[in-house]
Copies of this chain bind each other. A is one copy, B any other.
Amino acid sequence: MKVDVVQKILKANDDIAKWVRAKFDEYEIVCINMISAPGSGKTSLIESVLKQGLLGVRIGVIEGDPETTRDAERIAKYEVPVVQINTAGGCHLESQLVLQALDKLPLDEIDLLIIENVGNLVCPVGFDLGENSRVAVVSVTEGQDKPFKYPRLFQTANIVILNKVDLLPYVPFDVNEFTQGVHAIQPGVPILHVSCTRGDGVSNWVDWLVGQIVPGNKKNA
């Protein structure tokens, strides 16, 4: 019974995700869905991109959190369009919430829409938001066991960011075991090492994002 209900919810989500995706196609928007545990640095990764700009690519942001507009306020400082979705305690974003948020964004002025999901390694994974690519973020303080414990995220990620590498000298994190774990689940998926505070790897992260903009998808820029 419970499984049935969950499958109906997922089916409804997938149906609405198709409309969202069609809207992205109509407006020639590339959409990225960022998933991580709470506090892994998703907002800082978006800020690191906004600080240096993206070769003329115009960015919009949707922030997801159970409560508060703190992350949207951080992003708004960079004067890009941003919408905060509060899930009122809910553990993940759904395509319905994204569809509603699109009404509040100037879609014809956005080339790249970055969605920051609710901090959670489990629930967001099953919910297609209409995105083109999915980014999994893990910080080195969380331990190298995360791909083994949360394989579904790493199966579906287009790229994995290992964040906060400036803290590697101070934490017991085995980079090789982490890398092997990720590649055992999805061989060949790129893994970027990044530190937003020190700047390591930010240019690789920016390059990857620019590479997501397929020719013809960048409007008037």
How far is B89's CA from A37's CA once the two chains are assembled, in angstroms?
A: 15
> What is the oligomeric copy number?
2
Give the total of A residues in contact with B, Cβ under 8 Å.
39
**A121 touches which of B119, B146, B151 (Cβ 8 Å):** B119
Closest to A124 in B: B91
- Of the listed stretches A63-71, A101-109, A128-136, A207-215, name the one at the interface; the rest are far from the partner chain: A63-71
Report which of B39, B68, B89, B120 forms a contact with A148, defined as CB distance below 8 A: B68
**Cα-based distance from A65 to B164 in the complex (angstroms):** 24
Q: Which residue of B lies closest to A89 (CB)?
A: B152
A145 contacts B68, CB within 8 Å?
yes
Q: Are B121 and A123 in contact (CB under 8 A)?
A: no
Chain B residues with CB under 8 Å of A151's CB are 66-67
Which stretch in A18-26, A49-57, A167-175 binds the other chain? A167-175
